[in-house]
Amino acid sequence: MNLRLSILVLTIPLLICSTTFAHPQKKPNVLMVSIDDLNDWVGCLEGHPQAKTPNIDRLARRGTLFSNAHCQSPVCNPSRASLMTGRYPHSTGIYFLSPDLRQAPVLKGVKTLPEVFASNGYTTMAVGKLFHGGDRRFFQEYGGSNGGFGPRPKKKISQPHGHPLWDWGAFPDSDEKMPDMKGAKWAIDKLKREYDKPFFMGVGFYRPHVPMFAPKKWFDMFPRDKIKLPLVSDDDLKDISQYAIDLTNKKHVSPKHSWVKSAGQWEHAVQSYFASVMFADHCLGLVLDALDKSPHAKNTIIVLFSDHGFHLGEKNRWAKRTLWEDGTRVPMIISAPGFKAGQKSNRPVELLDIFPTLLELTGLPKDAKQEGQSLVPLMKDPKTEWDQFPAITSFGPGNYSIRTTQYRFIQYRDGSEEFYDLNQDPHEWKNLIGDSKLKDVISNHRQQIPKKQLPVLPGRSTGHQAFKEANKLIK
């Protein structure tokens, strides 16, 4: 027997032994938590000094906090469709609130994240909002929406006109009536059980999405007369195009900032957002407590994300749908057994990266068609160079934001552009696009805009309408 062969013969039994005995446990479970419309008003992200999120913060302390994470679209449906399929909106044509991901021709036969886990031997289950509607289709067991955006009073509390969901204030009178509390209880019950197979569990919270309602005790944590309003610069919008203003304003269901101010509702709405966020954080805490007490505590990967940001008056806007930091930045935390706790990475990452990251962490096969990057290298070394993978956000073809570690470049369909240095200008007030000293760095960002962009799949959403309205400005 030659030397090479004898090494092989001796090694094979060792390899078999090590895989059989050193890792007797089954594959790690996955707990995926989504929080709807949560911006960076989270303690550990320091987006607002008064935000209170003790449970998100404690999750950050046990995992890796991605402090420069961004959605691929600043609205629910395309953001979640992108995350759940590992494809950019420009690769599917799903840019707005419709159509459903099952209606995209290029996604025919493509399995979503929980379906891939199911086909690899996982038990899958979920409660609440993980996808943008129709969650039941994607999980083996679904605990329901439990009332979704929740009970509403007979008469609106704060915004008498406008969309039925657009309201805020203290309501209802107990946590038990909140769909998110019902969802948390469903998850807690499931976490107590033993499973033959590893599980993939999704828990999707609806708050702080409008209506920004939560019981009064959560409002009492944020006295209205002490509320610090977000900073707004009066001449901020003078250095951007009319297209940028129209795209983010027209046909929107959110209230106008001028109305919120004149109605004396700004502080109350900010207070309502804080209360809603803290309530969702409380529900998360109950689920984390249950996991810690369960037999799965040491063998479960936890991923937390929000689907996009949210303006509360910044840049004279409310809600989502913008390509600025307020619209794209999201909380994103991944905690996995075997990785260092309490890490923070400021590298640009995308919600799209969650899918390949989970595949790598659980040892499932890679999918070359996915467009995100596994973040395992950043979980091993949070300072690894990452600007070659900028965070890309779009709102319709031709409207793109490119976010790197320090900068944001925006290009709109009318050809107008913006460039911000987030280190110097965290509120993105000063558009540096004409700064000749930055010519090369701006050009490098411009080159990252995707060359191939599918047209918008038809739909009647307000995003479709805004896109059409703003396009009227293009000659």
Choice between 76 and 84, CB closer to Ca ion: 76
Where does this chain touch Ca ion (CB under 5 A) — which range of 126-134, 142-150, 236-244, 360-368? 236-244
Where does this chain touch Ca ion (CB under 5 A) — which range of 56-64, 68-76, 223-231, 273-281? 68-76
Residue whose structure tokens are 């420009």: 90
**H-assigned helices in 18-75:** 54-62
User: Strands 300-306, 69-70: parallel, antiparallel or unpaired by DSSP?
Assistant: unpaired
Measured CA to CA, the distance from residue 229 to residue 314 in angstroms comes to: 9
Residue whose structure tokens are 């027997």: 1
Measured CA to CA, the distance from residue 369 to residue 14 in angstroms comes to: 35
Closest separation in Å from C-beta 341 to Ca ion: 29
CB atoms within 10 A of CB 3: 7
Choice between 260 and 319, CB closer to Ca ion: 319
Measured CA to CA, the distance from residue 138 to residue 125 in angstroms comes to: 9
Closest separation in Å from C-beta 80 to Ca ion: 8
Choice between 236 and 387, CB closer to Ca ion: 236
Closest separation in Å from C-beta 224 to Ca ion: 25
Where does this chain touch Ca ion (CB under 5 A) — which range of 35-43, 102-110, 114-122, 150-158? 35-43
Q: Check binding of 429 to Ca ion (CB under 5 A).
A: yes
Which residue in 236, 267, 289, 360 binds Ca ion (CB under 5 A)? 236
Residue whose structure tokens are 């936890």: 302
Which residue in 30, 31, 32, 37 binds Ca ion (CB under 5 A)? 37
Segment 330-369, which members bind Ca ion (CB under 5 A)? none
Where does this chain touch Ca ion (CB under 5 A) — which range of 43-51, 91-99, 252-260, 421-429? 421-429
Q: Check binding of 36 to Ca ion (CB under 5 A).
A: yes
Instruction: Kindly state the tokens that stand for 248.
Output: 């983010």
Closest separation in Å from C-beta 162 to Ca ion: 18
Q: Check binding of 417 to Ca ion (CB under 5 A).
A: no
**What would the x/- binding string for Ca ion be over residues 238 to 267, using CB under 5 A?**
-x----------------------------
Phi-psi region of 169 (alpha: psi -120 to 50; beta: other; left: phi over 0): left
Residues sharing a CB contact under 8 Å with residue 8, sequence separation 6 or more, in sequence order: none
Where does this chain touch Ca ion (CB under 5 A) — which range of 74-82, 132-140, 266-274, 409-417? 74-82
Residue whose structure tokens are 């091993």: 380
Measured CA to CA, the distance from residue 126 to residue 83 in angstroms comes to: 16
Q: Which of 71, 76, 252, 283 is catalytic?
A: 76
Residue facing Ca ion at closest CB distance: 76
> Catalytic site residue 132?
yes
**What would the x/- binding string for Ca ion be over residues 269 to 308, using CB under 5 A?**
--------------------------------------x-
Q: Check binding of 325 to Ca ion (CB under 5 A).
A: no
Residue 294 CA, distance from chain mean position = 27
Residues sharing a CB contact under 8 Å with residue 33, sequence separation 6 or more, in sequence order: 202, 203, 204, 205, 284, 287, 302, 303, 304, 305
Burial class (CB in 10 A: 0-12, 13-18, 19+), 231: exposed
Instruction: Kindly state the tokens that stand for 126.
Output: 């979920």
- C-alpha separations of 400 from 97, 396, 405, 408, 430 in Å: 17, 8, 17, 10, 18
Q: Check binding of 76 to Ca ion (CB under 5 A).
A: yes
Choice between 307 and 386, CB closer to Ca ion: 307
Closest separation in Å from C-beta 243 to Ca ion: 15
Measured CA to CA, the distance from residue 304 to residue 266 in angstroms comes to: 29
Where does this chain touch Ca ion (CB under 5 A) — which range of 110-118, 217-225, 357-365, 425-433? 425-433
Closest separation in Å from C-beta 301 to Ca ion: 23
Q: Which of 70, 90, 132, 209 is catalytic?
A: 132
Measured CA to CA, the distance from residue 133 to residue 98 in angstroms comes to: 11
Closest separation in Å from C-beta 183 to Ca ion: 16
Measured CA to CA, the distance from residue 123 to residue 190 in angstroms comes to: 12
Measured CA to CA, the distance from residue 394 to residue 95 in angstroms comes to: 8
> Catalytic site residue 76?
yes
Q: Check binding of 57 to Ca ion (CB under 5 A).
A: no
First to last CA, the chain: 79
Dihedral of alpha carbons 370, 373, 377, 382, sign: negative
Measured CA to CA, the distance from residue 426 to residue 430 in angstroms comes to: 10
Closest separation in Å from C-beta 364 to Ca ion: 27
Closest separation in Å from C-beta 161 to Ca ion: 22
> Minimal CA–CA distance to 447: which of 402, 393, 385?
402
Q: Check binding of 326 to Ca ion (CB under 5 A).
A: no
Choice between 35 and 188, CB closer to Ca ion: 35
**What would the x/- binding string for Ca ion be over residues 304 to 323, using CB under 5 A?**
---x----------------
Binding-site residue total for Ca ion (CB under 5 A)?
Answer: 7
Contact residues for Ca ion, defined by CB under 5 A: 36-37, 76, 236, 239, 307, 429
Residues belonging to the active site? 76, 132
